[in-house]
A and B are shown apart, each in its own frame.
Chain A
Amino acid sequence: MAARGPGRVSVLLPTYNERDNLPLVVWLLVRTFRHSGIDFEIIIIDDGSPDGTKEVAQQLEKIYGSDKILLRPRARKLGLGTAYIHGMKYATGNFIVIMDADLSHHPKFIPEFIRKQQEGNFDIVSGTRYKGNGGVYGWDLKRKLISRGANFLTQVLLRPGASDLTGSFRLYRKEVLEKLMEKCVSKGYVFQMEMIVRARQLGFTVGEVPISFVDRVYGESKLGGNEIVSFLKGLLTLFATT
């Protein structure tokens, strides 16, 4: 699809069971873009959520218009990478923002991403929790320790030139994201890492903006032994192949 006009931002929102958070994220996105005067569209890729996320998305489409809210659902849970590829097919913007739909990422940072992109003509702008006054809310000591430890290991082994490799709140130039999606093969945390590493390999530039990450999923163990082991596996694979 040809890009309609300069400077539109397409936000890709893959969702799974986000019935409660989706309307809030969309409301915040719309507010942010309207206030900063940036042209936008929000592409919601729901993977057959059993909790009725799609129905909520349809209501949002009625409220804000189908030129701003694009519903492009899929039948089953097929993974983040393919969700991006699927969503990108319908994106008409020059820039693509990927973020989490669970309110851990606040849309207010998007105008800052764009400002940063202009500053240095970056191909990618990555939100970082580890630099400047970026930070996290809702993490205990163990989680923070593991996070910093894993990030340190990544910095030592991969020297990626970006401080937050596992973050998923980023702005990409559309062509850059398309090119990267062709090359990246990993899943989960490692997928986000691989994007940055491959981007550097291909000579793309990465800028950073400190963000705050508000983790509201209390009590749910998002970081078990399994995640750690698959992270290590992915890290070593990237170490040996890039």
Chain B
Amino acid sequence: MPHPAPPAGGARCRLSSELQLPSSPARGAAVTAHLGTGRGAAPAPGAAPSQAAMTKLAQWLCALALLGSAWAALALAPPGLQPPAPLRRALLPLPVYLLVAFGCYSLATVGYRLATFNDCEEAAAELQEHIRAARADLRRRGLRLGDQ
């Protein structure tokens, strides 16, 4: 069965020509040889680098408390310790600003990821080919496929 040439612009999604070739012993041996020796330094849970014992929620609350108190200190400072007027005007709405900025960042990130979400047409076509080959071979080997 002739294998279709990979698209000129380089495969967009993962394709493989491996299934069409007879098994290559050298490559196969190399992979098997490695499988067993992969253990190396197995991470024992006790010796593993300690993960933060805090839950993500707790981390967030801590960070918010920190930032919140810094902002409050500057915003609600007594007249003697206040930063200069324009700076103060910029500082006061900062929490709302950060939320909006984060919202913009989220929208942009999701939009960008949506725009670059690969569509694997070649992979789907390749799968159809493999399905045909599989059905033919299985029929030869005596599998009774109900319909199709």
Q: Hey, which bits of chain A sit against chain B, CB under 8 A?
A: 6-7, 9, 19-20, 23-24, 27-28, 31-32, 34-39, 52, 56, 59-60, 62-63, 94-95, 103, 106, 108-109, 111, 114-115, 117-118, 121, 123, 130, 133-138, 141, 144-145, 147-149, 151-152, 156-159, 179, 200-205, 210-214, 238-242
Contacts and interface: CB of A to CB of B under 8 A. Distances in A.
A contact face: mostly helix, strand, loop, or mixed: helix
Interface string B18-29: 110111110111
A35 B21 contact: yes
B89 interface: no
A23 B49 CA distance: 44
B117 A148 contact: yes
A115 B14 contact: no
Given A24-B135, A133-B14, A211-B14, A38 B32 contact: yes
B48 A203 contact: yes
Given A31-B19, A135-B117, A37 B29 contact: yes
Given A27-B134, A148-B113, A240-B55, A37 B32 contact: yes
A23 B135 CA distance: 8
Contact of B49 (A6, A203, A240): A203
27 contacts: A6-B35, A23-B143, A24-B131, A24-B134, A27-B138, A32-B19, A34-B23, A35-B23, A35-B28, A36-B23, A37-B25, A37-B32, A38-B28, A52-B146, A62-B142, A95-B35, A108-B19, A114-B31, A133-B14, A135-B118, A135-B123, A137-B121, A137-B123, A145-B114, A152-B106, A203-B43, A242-B55
